[in-house]
């Protein structure tokens, strides 16, 4: 009987993962944002708790490099980043989604990553997924963006695990992604998260 309860508790913990999807597209309904929604749909269809942060809806200032947070672990700026950092720390799974602009992540995501400095040591033991979309039909054009996100998740954080990348290629105009194989991949990744 005790073993059954143990199995149930393990299953319950798997199902109660907190997933945070960080959509950095400046366009609501943009191609990378649509892939975020598919990821969330897959997660919710399997009973997981998933939330999307649409960065455009928040006030996030640039890091000023003042260094105060190195000792205090708090940023001196009064914007929305403190709340977003709480969400990062509390999550089990983090998804970074970005459109590719000039072969790298968009400015919104880079600013967000830069502002993680005060609490980056607390963002540990997380699973990471990356969602990228671009007009280019080749994955190779997305590698600099992936490298940027990996630089944060693998080199700066401890105990992280990259679980997958969804490549939304060949999506120039808003909505192009809906005809892509990436839609199914995002949904399935959400189910597996």
Domain-embedded: residue 46: yes
Domain-embedded: residue 129: yes
Distance CA 132, CA 188 (A): 16
Domain harbouring 140, CATH code: 3.40.50.360
**Tens digit of pLDDT for each residue in 103-143?**
999 999 999 999 999 999 999 999 999 999 999 998 888 99
| Whether 94 contacts 108, CB under 8 Å | no
| Whether 117 contacts 69, CB under 8 Å | yes
Query: Quick one: pLDDT at residue 141?
Result: 87
Distance of CA 47 to the CA centre of its chain: 19
Residues of the domain holding 67: 18-192
Query: Quick one: pLDDT at residue 5?
Result: 39
Domain-embedded: residue 116: yes
Strands ordered across the beta sheet of 49-54: 49-54, 18-23, 93-99, 127-133, 161-168
pLDDT confidence band for 3 (50 / 70 / 90):
very low
Q: How far is CA 189 from CA 40, 161, 174, 193, in A?
A: 9, 14, 22, 6
Query: Quick one: pLDDT at residue 10?
Result: 40
> For the residues of the chain, what is the DSSP string, one character each?
-HHHHHHHHHHHHHHT-EEEEEE--SSTT-HHHHHHHHHHHHHHHTT-EEEEEEGGGS--PPP----THHHHSS-SS-STHHHHHHHHHH-SEEEEEEE-BTTB--HHHHHHHHTTGGGGGGS-S-EEEEEEE-SSS-GGGGHHHHHHHHIIIIIISSS-EEEEEEEE-S--STTGGGGSTHHHHHHHHHHH-
Domain-embedded: residue 127: yes
Domain-embedded: residue 126: yes
Mean confidence (pLDDT) of the chain: 92
pLDDT at 11 over 50: no
Domain-embedded: residue 7: no
pLDDT confidence band for 9 (50 / 70 / 90):
very low
HSE-up of residue 167 (Cα within 13 Å, Cβ side): 12
> Could you tell me the pTM of the whole model?
0.91
Distance CA 177, CA 55 (A): 20
pLDDT at 4 over 50: no
* Average pLDDT rounded to a whole number, residues 178-193: 97
Residue 158 backbone class (left: φ over 0; alpha: ψ -120 to 50; beta: rest): beta
Domain-embedded: residue 10: no
pLDDT confidence band for 12 (50 / 70 / 90):
very low
Domain-embedded: residue 6: no
| Number of domains, the chain | 1
Which of the two residues, 176 and 139, has the higher pLDDT score?
176
| Whether 134 contacts 99, CB under 8 Å | yes
């Amino acid at each position: 009987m005790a073993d059954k309860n143990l199995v149930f508790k393990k299953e319950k913990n798997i199902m109660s993962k907190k997933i945070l999807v960080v959509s950095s597209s400046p366009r609501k309904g943009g191609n990378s944002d649509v892939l975020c929604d598919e990821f969330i749909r897959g997660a919710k269809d399997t009973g997981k708790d998933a939330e999307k942060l649409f960065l455009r809806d928040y006030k996030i200032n640039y890091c000023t490099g003042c260094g105060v947070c190195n000792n205090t672990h708090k940023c001196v700026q009064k914007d929305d980043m403190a709340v977003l950092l709480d969400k990062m720390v509390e999550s089990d799974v983090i998804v970074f989604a970005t459109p590719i602009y000039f072969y790298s992540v968009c400015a919104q995501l880079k600013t967000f990553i830069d502002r993680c400095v005060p609490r980056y040591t607390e963002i540990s033991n997380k699973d990471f997924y990356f969602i990228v979309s671009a007009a280019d039909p080749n994955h190779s054009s997305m590698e600099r963006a992936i490298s940027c996100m990996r630089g944060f998740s693998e080199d700066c954080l401890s105990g992280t695990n990259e679980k997958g990348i969804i490549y939304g290629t060949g999506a120039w105009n808003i909505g192009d992604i809906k005809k892509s194989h990436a839609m199914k991949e995002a949904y399935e990744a959400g189910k597996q998260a």
